[in-house]
Chain A
Amino acid sequence: MKIKHFLATSALTAGLALAASAQAGEITVVSWGGAYTKSQVEAYHKPWVEKTGNKIVSEDYNGGIAEIKAQVEAGNVTWDIVDVELSDAIRACDEGLLETIDPGILPAGADGTPAEQDFIEGTLHECAVANIVWTTIFAYDSSKISDGPTTMADFFDLEKFPGKRGLRKGAKVNLEFALIADGVPAADVYGVLETPEGIDRAFAKLDTIKDQVVWWEAGAQPPQLLADGEVAMTTAYNGRIFNAVAGEDKPFEIVWDGHVWDLDLWVIPKGTPNKDLAMDFLAFSTATEQLAKQASYISYGPARKSSSPLVGKFHNKDIDMGPQMPTAPENLTNAVQNNFDFWADNADQLNERFNAWLTN
């Protein structure tokens, strides 16, 4: 139903735009679908369409830079602006697949702070501008597990909490989780992963639950898996779980221990025919107000400091969004930021090993 609603809204924006102007431009905005895209449609797309009279075609994908690479190298770019993970943004930028973005085009914060100081450190890049901070947590259905898990170690403890586990298919994040569950403090995770022994240790820990794992790929899957009772607990993007709780009254509980947070950034594929419009949309959508507004639709933290004080309640319920953010201090007691350098260097190799491990 979420998808249905989202499509309805995005189609609505398209309709609005059509009414607004005949010679208006059109851009294709690509994001991760489901509740997340919906939050962007509400906070970015609709206001932008209303303001400029242009059209937006919204498309979903499951991450990765394959499509961008194919389009750019073929010189046939149909995606105008894409929401990507940090390590993908870095790699795509290194390979010359993205337009460079001048931070000068970004509006100053609501309080007048220049954009470059207003954005949280590390969220502005040569070819990318972050919009949100998100994280991978794990969650369970509290109507099925009463005395629920509280630590990452519990997630890997099949004796204490029997039942299937959902994990995202791929090496990233899972290796970090495994080490944290094995007793490595979140802050030291990448130090340990740099060593071959650390990698062996992470895989050994994953081995202990391998038989019980259901692997997911799309962000919409984990809440579905939990709701269908296919898994007892699953890792998930925190916003998806939050929205299932807030929007659909699901009895899901988020465990914040050991979560691995990351950024989502807007990038613009090199050579898009709608570069100017895409830049305009990018600047518009990462303004203080828009980022704060998005946070009222999904529990992802805005990338601007000036947006934080504006974050209020969930758009149609009396739920304070502040404590739901990955960056809320109480959620950061044992958390780690995804190390993009590590993954840029090791993703190929570790995914290969992960695939070999998975099939053997």
Chain B
Amino acid sequence: MQDSSTTTPETLVTADGVPLKQKLIQSTRRARLRALLLTLPLVIFIIVSFMIPIGQMLLRSVHNDTASSVLPNFAIAIQDWDEQGLPPEETIKLFVLDMQEARKKREIGRTVGNLATRINYEIPGSRSLFTSSSRKLARVTEGPYTEALLDINKKWDDPVLWRSLKRATNDLTPYFYLAALDMKYDGEGNIAEADELYQIYVSNFWKTLRLSATITFICLVLAFPVSYLLSTLPLKTSNLLMILVLLPFWTSLLVRTTAWIAILQTEGIINDILVFIGLVGEDGRVQMIYNQTGTIIAMVHILLPFMILPLFSVMKTIPPSYMRAASSMGAKTFTAFRRVYFPLTLPGIAAGTLLVFILAIGYYITPALVGGEDGLLISNLIAYHIQKSLNWSLGAALGTLLLAIVLILYWLYNKIVGIEKLSFG
């Protein structure tokens, strides 16, 4: 004790002779480590079961090695081609040999068919050129290969095709993002807008955003009075009424969607009532489902609790005396509301709006079931490419764009509201 106090008299020391400051740092570090260790299993779990799968999917959107794995030797040689006329005989020879090899091996994911599918994205109608040529190429054993290829099909005499092959043999490609933004490569290899008749994704992104905004807005308009009512009622009554909000929240999404089909379909309850009252005739039944209207109604119903809960929890904290004070100072009810009450609810509005918007933008099930054709959202197109058309890279590119939008909103939510404010019931 004496020694240490003589050497550094100003340092406080613990019983075992370590300076207090150091000891404190040590123990904080240990506490930090302990806290971190507690979260570690879950963090690892989320990384493995969630982050890696998503990361892998994102990679798929820019990385597609179909062409280079079917044509490994050609892929290297073609890169030196100046894109004028046809590639040199030597390169075409490699192309023919690679094609023959691929046909012989029929390795899963590395067949001529896979290559044909890949090129067919960029040059529609070229699939059969590849598959039929490949069958005939089996007989070609000696050069000149260019001539043999042209003999099989005149279409090989097109530099556009070879330019596309050169691009496709690059594993990293922006092509799928171009496609996701309604763009393409023209014959010269420049980026151009896709034909108007084939444009679908940009407008669908806008539609998704527009529909989500509409749904969010309707939710806000409906949630505001209800939350206000709940926050002003005595606890017992409000708890009771809260059940009416929480029950839908706890009820299966599919149950609620089924219910809306029963209510809204042309032979459904609302139409029956309309016919019964005489507002519409038997053959004038209104189409309220399998279109945008149906999507909006069902989604508002499903997402409304996500707006009510945060609004309610903020409104509960606003003392009613504020409004009374405002009116006692002569403010009209509306002025008092606008100047005093409304600003105080803004955090709740921000939380609810962002949450509902984020959830709406990625919705899949409800639009798929009640959206018909014009009620489909971007999620449905992604699922279409993953499950039906099998253009996985395009699906991944669309998914990445959607994910980017959602993450920006999530970041905003974190900034404005704070993730720790999220709560249910």
Asked whether the complex places CB atoms of A and B closer than 8 A, the reply is yes
Residues of A within 8 A of B (CB): 64-66, 69, 72-73, 91, 93-97, 203, 214-215, 228-230, 270-271, 341, 344-346, 348-349, 351-353, 355-360
Q: Does B227 make an interface contact (CB < 8 A)?
A: no
**Given A346-B125, A356-B200; A215-B113 close (CB under 8 Å):** no
Give the bracket for the number of chain B residues in contact with chain A: 35 or more
In the complex, A271 Cα to B372 Cα: how many Å? 38
Contacts of A360 in B (CB 8 A): 200, 203
Q: Name B197's closest neighbour in chain A (CB-CB).
A: A353
Q: Does B111 make an interface contact (CB < 8 A)?
A: yes
**Given A66-B388, A94-B116, A348-B120; A73-B128 close (CB under 8 Å):** no
**A230 engages B198 (CB within 8 Å):** no
**Given A351-B389, A357-B197; A97-B266 close (CB under 8 Å):** no
Identify which of A65, A94, A341 contacts B112 (C-beta below 8 A): A94
**B114 engages A95 (CB within 8 Å):** yes
**B108 engages A359 (CB within 8 Å):** no
> Please, what's the 1-or-0 string for B92-125, where 1 marks a CB less than 8 Å from any CB in chain A?
0000000000000011111111101100110011
Enumerate 25 A-B pairs (CB-CB under 8 Å) in ascending A order: A66-B387, A66-B388, A73-B108, A91-B113, A94-B112, A94-B131, A95-B109, A95-B113, A95-B114, A95-B117, A96-B107, A96-B109, A214-B290, A230-B266, A341-B128, A344-B128, A345-B126, A349-B120, A349-B125, A353-B198, A356-B198, A356-B199, A358-B373, A359-B204, A359-B376
Q: Does B322 make an interface contact (CB < 8 A)?
A: no
In the complex, A270 Cα to B113 Cα: how many Å? 15
Q: Does B147 make an interface contact (CB < 8 A)?
A: no
Contacts of A348 in B (CB 8 A): 117, 120-121, 124, 389, 391
18 extra interface residue pairs, beta carbon distance < 8 Å, beyond A73-B108, A344-B127: A64-B387, A64-B388, A66-B387, A94-B113, A96-B107, A97-B108, A215-B373, A271-B108, A345-B120, A345-B124, A348-B117, A348-B120, A348-B121, A356-B198, A356-B200, A357-B197, A359-B204, A360-B200
Contacts of A215 in B (CB 8 A): 372-373
**A96 engages B124 (CB within 8 Å):** no
> Please, what's the 1-or-0 string for B173-199, where 1 marks a CB less than 8 Å from any CB in chain A?
000000000000000000000000111
Identify which of B107, B111, B116, B390 contacts A66 (C-beta below 8 A): B390
Q: Does B90 make an interface contact (CB < 8 A)?
A: no
Shortest distance from the beta carbon of A127 to any chain B beta carbon, whole Å: 10
Contacts of A356 in B (CB 8 A): 197-200
> Please, what's the 1-or-0 string for B198-221, where 1 marks a CB less than 8 Å from any CB in chain A?
111001100100000000000000
Contacts of B391 in A (CB 8 A): 348
Shortest distance from the beta carbon of B7 to any chain A beta carbon, whole Å: 68
**B200 engages A72 (CB within 8 Å):** no
**A345 engages B128 (CB within 8 Å):** yes
Contacts of A271 in B (CB 8 A): 108
**Given A69-B390, A93-B113, A94-B116; A349-B198 close (CB under 8 Å):** yes
Contacts of B207 in A (CB 8 A): 359
Contacts of A355 in B (CB 8 A): 200, 381, 384
Shortest distance from the beta carbon of A29 to any chain B beta carbon, whole Å: 21
Q: Does B374 make an interface contact (CB < 8 A)?
A: yes
Q: Does B157 make an interface contact (CB < 8 A)?
A: no
Contacts of B80 in A (CB 8 A): none
Q: Name B204's closest neighbour in chain A (CB-CB).
A: A359
**B198 engages A359 (CB within 8 Å):** no
**A359 engages B373 (CB within 8 Å):** yes
Contacts of B111 in A (CB 8 A): 94-96
**A359 engages B128 (CB within 8 Å):** no
Q: Does B158 make an interface contact (CB < 8 A)?
A: no
Shortest distance from the beta carbon of A332 to any chain B beta carbon, whole Å: 26
Q: Does B151 make an interface contact (CB < 8 A)?
A: no
Contacts of A93 in B (CB 8 A): 113
Q: Name B109's closest neighbour in chain A (CB-CB).
A: A73
In the complex, A168 Cα to B391 Cα: how many Å? 21
Shortest distance from the beta carbon of A61 to any chain B beta carbon, whole Å: 11
**B198 engages A352 (CB within 8 Å):** yes
Q: Does B267 make an interface contact (CB < 8 A)?
A: yes
In the complex, A337 Cα to B388 Cα: how many Å? 23
Identify which of A69, A96, A228, A351 contacts B267 (C-beta below 8 A): A228
In the complex, A165 Cα to B270 Cα: how many Å? 23
Shortest distance from the beta carbon of A162 to any chain B beta carbon, whole Å: 10
Contacts of B127 in A (CB 8 A): 344-345
Contacts of A214 in B (CB 8 A): 290
Contacts of A344 in B (CB 8 A): 127-128, 131
Shortest distance from the beta carbon of B208 to any chain A beta carbon, whole Å: 11
Shortest distance from the beta carbon of A173 to any chain B beta carbon, whole Å: 16
Contacts of B107 in A (CB 8 A): 96
In the complex, A107 Cα to B234 Cα: how many Å? 82
Contacts of B113 in A (CB 8 A): 91, 93-96
> Please, what's the 1-or-0 string for B237-267, where 1 marks a CB less than 8 Å from any CB in chain A?
0000000000000000000000000000011
Contacts of B387 in A (CB 8 A): 64, 66
The 6 A-B residue pairs with the shortest CB-CB distance, nearest first, are A94-B113, A349-B124, A95-B113, A356-B200, A96-B111, A96-B106
**B126 engages A359 (CB within 8 Å):** no
Contacts of B124 in A (CB 8 A): 345-346, 348-349
> Please, what's the 1-or-0 string for B388-425, where 1 marks a CB less than 8 Å from any CB in chain A?
11110000000000000000000000000000000000
Shortest distance from the beta carbon of B371 to any chain A beta carbon, whole Å: 10
In the complex, A120 Cα to B386 Cα: how many Å? 35
Q: Name A94's closest neighbour in chain B (CB-CB).
A: B113
In the complex, A357 Cα to B127 Cα: how many Å? 23
Q: Name A230's closest neighbour in chain B (CB-CB).
A: B266
Contacts of B108 in A (CB 8 A): 72-73, 96-97, 270-271
Contacts of A64 in B (CB 8 A): 387-388
Shortest distance from the beta carbon of A165 to any chain B beta carbon, whole Å: 13
Shortest distance from the beta carbon of A270 to any chain B beta carbon, whole Å: 7
Identify which of A73, A270, A345 contacts B125 (C-beta below 8 A): A345
In the complex, A46 Cα to B118 Cα: how many Å? 42
In the complex, A313 Cα to B52 Cα: how many Å? 58
In the complex, A73 Cα to B390 Cα: how many Å? 12
In the complex, A351 Cα to B120 Cα: how many Å? 13
